[in-house]
Structure 1
Amino acid sequence: MSRIEKDCLGQMEVPDDVYYGIQTLRVMGVSGILGEKVIKYPYLHRALVQMKKAAALANKEIGALDERRAEAIAWACDKVLTGKYDDQFPLDMFQGGGYTCVNMNVNEVIGNLANEHLTGHKGQDEVHPNTHVNMGQSTNDIVTSAEHLCIYPALDKLAPELDKLADAFAKKAIEFADVIKVGRTCLQDAVPLTLGQEFGGYAEFCRRQAENIRSLRAECFYLLVGATAVGTGLGAAPGYQEAFYKHLSVQLGEDVKSTADLFDGMQNDDFCVKVSAAVKQAACGISKIAKDLRIMSSGPRAGFGEITLPSLSPGSSIMPGKINPILPELVSQVAQQTCGNDVVISMAFEQGELEISVWAPTLYKNLFESFDLLTKVIPLFIDKCINGITANRDRCAKEAKETIALSTVVAATLGYPEGVKVAKYAQEHNLAVADAVLEMGIMTKEEADMLLDPALLVNPEKMAEVIARWKGEKQKQ
């Protein structure tokens, strides 16, 4: 069974068991190179359908669309929003034409559902996808608006995962609060700190990223609907824009508004670049943390060996017992892909021309891939890696006590040149700094025990107090 549908290029037979129509079929014949459907990330379709419903109700309110058709379109939109008809959106992620095809695919599905609701059959005789469903819209303003509107659900998913990651690190910060270890800068020994302080820094980074992601949410609700093809509003009836934003705001429970300058909005889709940068920033920072975990867990005998990660998989096909840090490495792969996606998104923005950018497929595919990857990897990272990290306390304590960087205390108390002498002496004679100052006759054992205690160095206020007291006593002598 089939039906005949017409468009500006002619007519085609359309299988009667599908709700999409002739324009969707045409594009299906010249696409499919990526092998991923746009509906893989359903946010765009949901946003388009929500706006189609608001448009129908707005056009009814201003008298541009009769109540019968408007209510049928709104009914069809509600049906599509259930997800039941997701299989009716077959288009490939990569398309030419700035996703005109996606807009028409949505128009056709809604139109056929509405037509069937009114007449008992699919077709264009009562509800036309262009004339009625697309009334007051063009692909140029509706798809760009949908790209903005569909970002907030992704933000709402990612931010809580970043909160959970922060909580996981904060919990470990408490657990490791008393684990003193060597700090490292440029991969060289630095003054001691606690493992808890390091993990506390990780927690704070993740909290900042969550807040940064949330800060973008309000901007998602500034849309271009009413601009139609180039920003002049041609094609929308008087009063349409105000009625549209009123109905969409009620539908979403959000304050949806028109962007300040429709021509700027049509010309520049920099909001996607801004969002991508925020996702990239979070991904890169989490990857940096993952790399830290790889370094701190390296070994078990010939590396840093400060922490132990959960063992998840054999790490070699030839070396028995080798365990790789596969979760931190997975996190870094997500960051690498996100960085690549961000470059592509930046290029797509830059390559827009004149009144519109036709690179919606590039923006959408890469942005939502980044969202999806980061949102999915964080729970795995928490559950399979961070929660199971243990500290190698004895090794951390030994290295903190033996590090040459403790000569910094000598520099702070006796001057930098003296600190250099101690550092060189300790290195040349393979001594801890505490032993070096005794052999050199620079400090008494009591003074060395007091001033060169790694536990003191991780508390800057206490350290300053002890050094000031020591200097005061020296001046009295």
Structure 2
Amino acid sequence: MSRGPQQSEEQQMAVRIEHDLVGDKEVPADAYYGVHTVRAVENFAITGSTIAQFPDLITALAAVKQAAAQANRDLDLLSPDIAAAIIGVCEEIRAGRLVDQFVVDPVQGGAGTSTNMNTNEVIANRALELLGRPRGSYDVIHPLDHVNLGQSTNDVYPTAVRLALVTSLHRLGHSLGALATAFTEKAAEFSGVLKMGRTQLQDAVPMTLGQEFTTYAVMIEEDRQRLTEAAALLLESNLGGTAIGTGINGHPRYAELACAYLAEISGESVRPAGDFIEATQDCGAFVQLSGVLKRVAVKLSKTCNDLRLTSSGPTAGLGEINLPPVQAGSSIMPGKVNPVIPEVVNQVAFEVIGNDLTVTLAAEAGQLQLNAFEPVIAYSLLRSLTHLRAACDTLATRCVPGITANREHLHDSVHRSIGLVTALAPHIGYAASTTLARQALTTGRTIKDLAAEGGLLTTDQLDTILRPENLTQPFGGPSAAATP
């Protein structure tokens, strides 16, 4: 991925000189970023991508900087003209502009300092442009003295990451809802299709295909609720705590004002943390979210395992359902079609489960008043959210709606299965039922025929007990009573 806007040879040769702690450095003359960003690009060529890959993070960073500028303006710490310029740039970024100027690698040393400085420099230089000043005129608007006023990477970065995660969570929740709806609609279509349920891959008792698909919808909806709970934990912010949570160099009223403005700008119920020192070092909310995403991944993967298994065949497998054919399956076996959509969802699930381990280790590795490894936590969580959402969308649009049932095969499987004997056990006893099952397995005859032939139950009694609606729900009461 490109680390900045495309430039002509002439533009690439034009530079401006900026200075930092390390010394002088050439910066592309037309870049909105500055010296700190250039050094970060050189130092952290890790993932081959940039933070621009995560637009929710860029939007959140701009929201935090806008809230800070509005708070500092209200506190008379920023002049109205400088504050207005900074706020204007933040609004531009939140509208999708300047994203290509966010060029640092998402995985970086420094606890997110490079991301914060990239943001400060872009805002400062664009604000200078709005005021008719050349880029790099930091005596007028400085990335640190003005854009980062009253802030630290250690409160800006985690607050922005939390806000970005909440935004991504909303999107994942919507995609999960659409997937649950797809399964619910398919369940209604299959509501009258009888099949054998299985435990340990062995015949168990009958159920409907609709019940099986309803289960998938219910599991997904449960996870949507857990996502909502995880999001609530992320809306606690340490903004205003500055370096370690003590609020050094900050105005006493800054935290309250900045959080209030951030809530207004983002539309989320951002609130100040109860203890800023604790909030600055604690990554518990990230671990909680990661665990919930792993839960989502595990259940999606289990669902896709079921889809692959029940569609196996078409002639030598279970063959209960048919997945829609979306592409040819083999370069050597003509006519082969593979369950590629469930397979890709499985792989996303494996990635998310691995990301959870990364988040766990990074959170555990924090030391004293700061966790320096929040960048890899953010990178892992944002990727998990992005990929899970894409997986859900793919499953909901490219697979579930096109699933069909092999109804005749399912019907025959139920009536050939010895699992039907479970329905007879309350009426003829466990021992007689076991004998009947062995006879059916040995002879290949049906449970119903053998029970009638042996005089264990009358034909009418068998018809009542083995009625489909009685096989797939609690069955009892006077009308169901049957005695041999």
Which of 208, 222, 230 is the matching residue for 2:244? Answer: 230
Per the alignment, residue 50 of structure 2 pairs with 37
Q: Distance in 2 between matches of 1:4 and 1:125?
A: 14
Give the gaps of 5 or more residues in structure 2.
1-13
Per the alignment, residue 320 of structure 1 pairs with 334
Q: In the alignment, does 2:146 pair up with 1:132?
A: yes
Give the gaps of 5 or more residues in structure 1.
none
Which of 464, 468, 472 is the matching residue for 2:476? Answer: 464
Per the alignment, residue 23 of structure 2 pairs with 10
* Matching of residues 337-376 of structure 1 within 5 Å: 337-376=351-390
Q: Distance in 2 between matches of 1:448 and 1:255?
A: 60
Q: Please tell me whether the aligned partners of residues 4 and 12 of structure 1 are also in contact (alpha carbons under 8 angstroms).
A: yes
Q: Distance in 2 between matches of 1:251 and 1:93?
A: 24
What displacement does 1:356 show?
0.6
Per the alignment, residue 180 of structure 1 pairs with 194
* Matching of residues 305-454 of structure 1 within 5 Å: 305-454=319-468
What displacement does 1:138 show?
0.7
CA-to-partner distance for each residue in 1:80-113, whole Å, 9 max, x for gaps? 2222211111111221111101100100111111
Q: Distance in 2 between matches of 1:76 and 1:134?
A: 14
Q: Distance in 2 between matches of 1:253 and 1:407?
A: 58
Where in structure 1 do 4 or more consecutive aligned residues deviate above 6 Å? none
Name the SS of the counterpart of 1:29 in structure 2: helix
Per the alignment, residue 296 of structure 1 pairs with 310
Per the alignment, residue 110 of structure 1 pairs with 123
When the two structures are aligned, how many residues end up with a matched partner?
Answer: 470
Name the SS of the counterpart of 2:477 in structure 1: helix
Query: So what's the TM-score if we normalise by structure 2?
Result: 0.94
Q: Please tell me whether the aligned partners of residues 165 and 381 of structure 2 are also in contact (alpha carbons under 8 angstroms).
A: no
Q: Distance in 2 between matches of 1:305 and 1:259?
A: 55
Name the SS of the counterpart of 1:250 in structure 2: helix
Q: Please tell me whether the aligned partners of residues 464 and 480 of structure 2 are also in contact (alpha carbons under 8 angstroms).
A: no
Q: Please tell me whether the aligned partners of residues 313 and 323 of structure 1 are also in contact (alpha carbons under 8 angstroms).
A: yes
CA-to-partner distance for each residue in 1:7-57, whole Å, 9 max, x for gaps? 122222222110100111111112212101111012222111111111111
Q: Please tell me whether the aligned partners of residues 120 and 147 of structure 2 are also in contact (alpha carbons under 8 angstroms).
A: yes
Q: Distance in 2 between matches of 1:120 and 1:137?
A: 25
Q: In the alignment, does 2:331 pair up with 1:285?
A: no
Per the alignment, residue 104 of structure 2 pairs with 91
Q: Please tell me whether the aligned partners of residues 230 and 285 of structure 2 are also in contact (alpha carbons under 8 angstroms).
A: no
What displacement does 1:255 show?
3.1
Q: Distance in 1 between matches of 2:196 and 2:189?
A: 18
Q: Please tell me whether the aligned partners of residues 341 and 367 of structure 1 are also in contact (alpha carbons under 8 angstroms).
A: yes
Name the SS of the counterpart of 1:135 in structure 2: coil
Q: Please tell me whether the aligned partners of residues 428 and 456 of structure 2 are also in contact (alpha carbons under 8 angstroms).
A: no
Q: Please tell me whether the aligned partners of residues 267 and 354 of structure 1 are also in contact (alpha carbons under 8 angstroms).
A: yes
Query: So what's the TM-score if we normalise by structure 1?
Result: 0.95
Q: Please tell me whether the aligned partners of residues 177 and 194 of structure 1 are also in contact (alpha carbons under 8 angstroms).
A: yes
CA-to-partner distance for each residue in 1:50-89, whole Å, 9 max, x for gaps? 1111111111211222222222211222222222211111
Task: Please provide the CA RMSD for this pair.
Answer: 1.6
Q: Distance in 1 between matches of 2:105 and 2:252?
A: 36
Q: Distance in 1 between matches of 2:296 and 2:478?
A: 40
Q: In the alignment, does 2:259 pair up with 1:245?
A: yes
CA-to-partner distance for each residue in 1:227-256, whole Å, 9 max, x for gaps? 111111111023211221222222223332
Q: In the alignment, does 2:68 pair up with 1:62?
A: no
